[in-house]
Amino acid sequence: MSGHSKWATIRRKKEKTDAARGRIFTRLIKEITIAARMGGGDAEGNPRLRSAIAAAKAANMPAANIDKGIKKGTGELPGVIYEEITYECYAPGGVALLIKTLTDSKNRTVSEIRHIITKRGGNLAETGSVGYMFERKGVITVDPKGLSEDNVMEIALEAGAEDLRADEDSFDIITEPNEFETVRAAVEKSPLGIESAEISMLPSVYVKVEGDNARKLMKLLEDLEEHDDVQNLYGNFDIDEAALQEEE
């Protein structure tokens, strides 16, 4: 199970709880705020903000919350100034992780992230140590709704996608970042149902993780996911599902 797909599946399950939903809303508001601050409050002319708003609506965030996040970003309302920082990590089993954060206190965040990683058997790495193993791509996860992989591939390619990756009961449509919005708009008009859509970091090489290392890795990911400053996690792991089932 690939890093992006497996963790996305786990994340969706976690989002179903009320406590997790609160964390998801916090994460989405941060993204909306910084997107508006960097690119302006007009979603039509700001692709990052448009994607953030779409994710917020998919999570059933009230429109008033979305509007407030935009206004905090543009300065129309007072708000916290967040800084984007990506940390790099060597996780159990030799897995490479990218940890994307939004923080109002760099020193606090790096200290807490380092503590989590060390506690779970990993090591915080220097900038550039693992980043070269990942490529920036658009990822649109869709529900095939009874369609075959060939049907989905045809729709994806006609929409302008670069590739299609099948995984369990969903498919990941892969795009170049500059084609992401065009492809997503085309997929929205197709019979496919979009479960999520984001600009992601996909690994160029995967590491097979089994047994105790797989369990340790999942514990690390769960701890990082629960940290308020962590926005996204990207890893190059190919997980042993049997180990995860034993843990559950």
Q: Residue 4: pLDDT above 60?
A: no
CA 179, distance to chain mean position in Å, is: 18
User: 83-132+206-247 has which fold?
Assistant: Alpha-Beta Plaits (3.30.70)
Every domain of the chain with CATH number 3.30.70.980 lies at 83-132+206-247, 133-203
What pLDDT sits at residue 22? 73
Question: Average pLDDT, whole number, for the chain?
Answer: 86
CATH superfamily of 3-74: Integrase, N-terminal zinc-binding domain (1.10.10.200)
CA torsion angle for 78, 83, 84, 90 (degrees, to 10)? Answer: -140
- 184-225 pLDDT, tens digit per residue, is 989 988 888 888 888 999 999 999 998 899 889 999 999 998
- 100-149 pLDDT, tens digit per residue, is 999 999 999 999 999 999 999 999 999 999 999 999 999 998 887 778 88
CATH superfamily of 133-203: YebC, transcriptional regulation domain (3.30.70.980)
Of the two residues 17 and 226, the one the predictor is more confident about is 226
Can you give the C-alpha Rg of the chain in angstroms? 18
